[in-house]
Amino acid sequence: MDDLMGYVIGETSNTELNFLAKHMPEIGSYVSINYCDLEILGMVESVNQGCKIFEDVYNVKDFEKLKDFENNDSYYTIGKIKILGDVKNMQIPRIPPKPGTEVYDASEKILGEIFSKGTIEIGNLISADSKVKLDVNKLCSRHLAILAITGMGKSNTVSVLLEELNNIHATVLVFDMHREYVEIEAKNSTIRRNIIRPKINVYNMSYDALMSLAGVDPQATVQRAMGRRAMKKIKESKKEVDFNTVDEYINSIINELNYYMGMDEFKSKVDSILTLIMRFEDLMTFKDKITAINYNPIQDIKENYVNIVDISELDESSTDLIISYFTGEILKDRKKVLWDTKVAKPIFIIYEEAHLIVPQNRPTKSKIPISKIAREGRKFGVGICLVSQRPKTLDQESLSQCNNFIISKLIEPSDQKHVQHASENLSEDLLNQLPGLNVGEAVIIGPCLKIPAMVKIKRFEGEYGGEDVKFDELWTTEKEKNIPEFIESNELFNDDL
């Protein structure tokens, strides 16, 4: 079979070139060019088609007359190739090819050697049948960002990763904001799930964090000062094990604050103290779902399981506290394990809706521990994955620490530029492909692959909670329940009114 695609034309460089194509190539397809005893791999980044017959014709009648002379030989196709490196070492050649050099379709053997040597299968090349497998060591240690607009397959991508990671007995922790993965089930394998109820140890919380949980306004400086004083006094006199319940600990703080109420030096602060007491009383009533004592989240995490923290019922403030607490405790634990045993117990943490917890222009409690893991987590066996449909609002520093990207369709230029600033490997030409990607297609770049690839993410075979609601089906189902077609308006009101 003739796999000649065309010939190099025009001026060339060792990083990019143009070629005259024999047939229409697909954007994202791979080519090989042989010269100087090297086999060079390249990717088609753009394609232009023209016809000499119609050049400089701007009159419709003339155009229509010329169509009679139109045939397939009248058209030409010029493609632009980005040089990726020699097949053997993936190093950029030092000299460019000569014009006239033949350009061939890259063989399945070459593509298999480059894209199918990883650990976890993510999909197939858009332009070929070659499977794409990611290097899990570089994926997790160098961190990952999954970015796309809503409805382009982020949840499917995460589900595929969860199944693949589960198959190699990875320890994964997912902060599930929308109950997308709580009941995840795969058709061809058994995903070992461990659902974790989100809890936070009130004794181990910082003074300010506990007061934030209780709803104390950050600007209420007097309340916060009195709260810090009371908590510090309690911790100086009692250890965590001295308390059996959260209520016992909170009541000890309230009792200390009540004691201050009777002290002359605090007479001018009675109103503030009273308000603070009410906040702590409310904490026992409304925050009992997430508070705990004598608790560390590490005890709930199962090794070699997909651990899912269901935070779907929490408000944004509580979500931030939970994620901050879990993340900080995990990093401390992995450091301790490594120092004690010299063997890291790796864990991969997935943060859904990452733009809410590590936003670009406002502080959150989660920002500090997540940024810390992004900078130094790989040394302690902690990898992170940031998932977001709003890249431009995602913290640039944290995003730039993610060396691996799975990027689906992004339309807004501001989103595209934000991602490009974070990734040195996202070229302008690849950036231009993002708006044209279809559902389930993505550009994957980073050390988890030898070279960038445009990939059709495989469909997750099973069930998860991230798929769109079928409005028409649900409405039709309701219609079949014989709901009355018309209700007299006066039936809706009480006759006595």
Is 93 in contact with 32 (CB distance < 8 Å)? no
| Judgement on whether residues 338 and 447 belong to the same structural domain of the protein | yes
For the stretch 285-343, pLDDT in tens is: 866 678 899 999 999 999 999 999 999 988 888 899 899 999 999 999 988 887 777 66
- Residues spanned by the domain of 155: 120-199+298-463
C-alpha to C-alpha distance for 337 and 343, rounded to whole angstroms: 7
Radius of gyration of the chain (CA): 30
pLDDT at 318: 86
Residue 492 has pLDDT above 90, yes or no: no
3-class SS of residue 479: helix
Q: What is the pLDDT of residue 497?
A: 47
Contacts of 39 (CB under 8 A, 6+ apart): 32, 33, 86, 87, 88, 110
Q: Which pLDDT belongs to residue 484?
A: 62
CATH code at position 351: 3.40.50.300
pLDDT of residue 425: 66
User: Is the domain of 431 the same as that of 322?
Assistant: yes
Give the C-alpha separation, 445 to 433, whole Å: 13
21 bridge partner residues: 6, 77
Instruction: Report the pLDDT value the prediction gives residue 455, as an integer from 0 to 100.
Output: 92
Read off φ and ψ for residue 267, nearest 5 degrees. Answer: -60, -35
* Structural tokens at position 39: 């086999």
What is the pLDDT at residue 485?
60
For residue 393, report the phi and psi dihedrals to the nearest 5 degrees. -100, 5
* Distance linking the first and last C-alpha atoms of the chain: 86
Same-domain check for residues 169 and 304: yes
User: What's the CA gap between 376 and 367, in Å, rounded?
Assistant: 14
**372 and 450, same domain (yes or no):** yes
The per-residue pLDDT of the chain, averaged, comes to 87
Q: What is the mean pLDDT of residues 194-219?
A: 90
> How far is C-alpha 401 from the geometric centre of its chain's CA atoms?
13
Tens-place pLDDT, residues 254-296: 999 999 998 999 989 999 999 999 999 988 886 667 889 999 9
Amino acid at 193: R
Q: What is the pLDDT of residue 383?
A: 95
pLDDT at res. 72 = 65
Tokens matching residue 350:
């997935």
Query: pLDDT tens digits for 411-426?
Result: 787 877 777 777 766 6
Is 348 a member of any domain? Answer: yes
Q: Would 172 be classed as within a structural domain? A: yes
What's the pLDDT band for 357 if we cut at 50, 70, 90? very high
Distance separating alpha carbons of residues 421 and 419, to the nearest angstrom: 5
pLDDT, tens only, 10-62: 999 999 999 999 988 988 889 999 998 899 999 998 899 888 777 777 777 77
Provide the domain count of the chain. Answer: 3
Query: Is 91 among the domain residues?
Result: yes
Domain boundary among 263, 291, 319: 291
| pLDDT higher at 470 or 74 | 74
- 298: phi then psi, degrees, rounded to nearest 5: -60, -30
Q: Which of 291, 317, 335 is the last residue of a domain?
A: 291
**Measured between alpha carbons, how far is 33 from 79 in angstroms, rounded to an integer?**
14
34 and 68 share one domain: yes
Instruction: Label residue 487 by pLDDT band (50, 70, 90).
Output: low
Same domain, 184 and 264: no
Let me know whether 401 and 435 are in one domain.
yes
| Residues 239 and 380 reside in one and the same domain | no
Strand partners, 223: none
Q: pLDDT tens digit string along 115-167?
A: 998 999 999 998 888 999 999 999 999 999 999 888 888 899 999 999 999 99
Strand pairing partners for 347? 382
Q: Per the structure block, which two tokens stand in for 66? A: 């010329």
Which is more confident, 478 or 221?
A: 221
Q: Work out the average pLDDT over 452-472.
A: 81
Q: Do 170 and 214 belong together in one domain? A: no
Same domain, yes or no, for 287 and 319?
A: no
For residues 85 and 20, state if they share a domain: yes
- For residue 233, tell me if it sits in a domain: yes
Who wins on pLDDT, 54 or 470? 54
Q: Which residue among 252, 271, 291 closes a domain?
A: 291
| 195 and 212 within one domain | no
Contact between 334 and 366 under an 8 Å Cβ cutoff? The reply is no
